[in-house]
Amino acid sequence: MATVSPAERLLLQLGIKEPGDIDLEAIAYSQGAFVKFRPMDRCEATIVGNARHAIIAVNSLSIPQRQRFSIGHEIGHWLLHRHRLLFCTSKDIGGFSRDALNPERQADDFASDLLLPSFMFEPSIMRIRVLSLQALDDLTGAFNTSRTATLLKAVKCNRFPIVMFRDGLDRRRWSWPSNVVSPRWRARDDLDPESFAYELLHGGGTGSTPVRKVGADAWFEFRGCQHEEVREQSFVSVPGEVITIVTVPESGTD
Ligand SMILES: [Zn+2]
């Protein structure tokens, strides 16, 4: 096994071996933190604690997978950033800041490792040849996690030749390539108005698109990219945000 992260070490210490056994309230309790659920406004979760005990409050209005990620995030704060009072907004939790020293990013990484530990996740993806939305949904069902968090984990496993794009009505785009995608395939920093993802984003729906082949220049910019094709599939992750899985051909891998 590669390096074991603090969250994975905690799971191993507690003897948790199956995705279905990742009971976050029980894990929090084992570390001295009680989890409470209550409706919250503009806030996903908070943690308040003294030296030994903490109370994690989670927004009961959020979807269950989001609540699970929030609890994982707050357990991360409890174990990594004790003695700080933190109010975590929906932007903080699952925002996956690029700054590895940012406490919000560290808590997100902790939550990802706790909910989708490599020692359970990697054997699960070995059986998948192509990462379609259907395959992603099989994983989210097994791990009880959101599509976004699960896809990000799959990208980081560097097994599939994919790039994950996030586009929002806020016009903010970020993209995350797996290491097997050639660095020559530079992601565009704007959403093509002709793309199906654009239509999905501005249509106000909650659906997804089928897998489609499109010209690579819809997503990438490099010399000769108009001669290449990629497969794309998009889904609405939260209202106002579309995530696209773009699979590059073999010529786009290293
Ligand atoms: Zn936080």
CB neighbour list of residue 34: distance below 8 Å, 6 or more residues apart:
28, 53, 54, 55, 56
- pLDDT of 33: 96
The angle at the Cα of 124, spanning 207 to 92, to the nearest 5 degrees, equals: 55
Structure tokens at 186: 């530079």
- pLDDT of 60: 97
- pLDDT of 82: 82
**Pure H helices in the chain:** 6-13, 24-30, 64-80, 103-115, 118-125, 133-143, 147-156, 196-203
pLDDT surpasses 60 at 133: yes
How far apart are alpha carbons 251 and 228 in whole angstroms? 9
CA of 103 to the centre of ligand 1 (A): 7
For 56-100, what is each residue's pLDDT tens digit?
999 999 999 999 999 999 999 999 988 666 677 777 888 777 788
- pLDDT of 85: 64
More confident residue, 206 or 80: 80
- pLDDT of 233: 96
Q: Is residue 115 a contact partner of residue 143, using CB atoms and an 8 Å limit?
A: yes
CA of 182 to the centre of ligand 1 (A): 33
CA of 101 to the centre of ligand 1 (A): 13
Instruction: Answer positive or negative: Cα dihedral of 123, 125, 129, 135.
Output: positive
Q: Which of helix, strand or coil describes residue 162?
A: strand
How far apart are alpha carbons 31 and 209 in whole angstroms? 42
**Weakest mean pLDDT among 20-34, 47-61, 79-93, 157-171:** 79-93
pLDDT surpasses 90 at 132: yes
pLDDT band at 247 (very low <50, low <70, confident <90, very high): very high
- 37: closest CA among 8, 68, 12, 14? 68
CA of 76 to the centre of ligand 1 (A): 8
CA of 69 to the centre of ligand 1 (A): 11
How far apart are alpha carbons 102 and 227 in whole angstroms? 40
Amino acid occupying residue 93: I
Going along the chain from its start, the domains and CATH numbers come out as 24-115 (1.10.10), 119-252 (no CATH)
CA of 212 to the centre of ligand 1 (A): 37
Amino acid occupying residue 135: A
Q: What percent of the chain has pLDDT over 70?
A: 98
DSSP state of 250: G
More confident residue, 171 or 155: 155
- What's the mean pLDDT in 41-54? 88
| pTM > 0.85: yes or no | yes
Q: How far is CA 229 from the centre of its chain?
A: 26
pLDDT band at 206 (very low <50, low <70, confident <90, very high): confident
pLDDT band at 170 (very low <50, low <70, confident <90, very high): confident
pLDDT surpasses 70 at 188: yes
How far apart are alpha carbons 215 and 230 in whole angstroms? 6
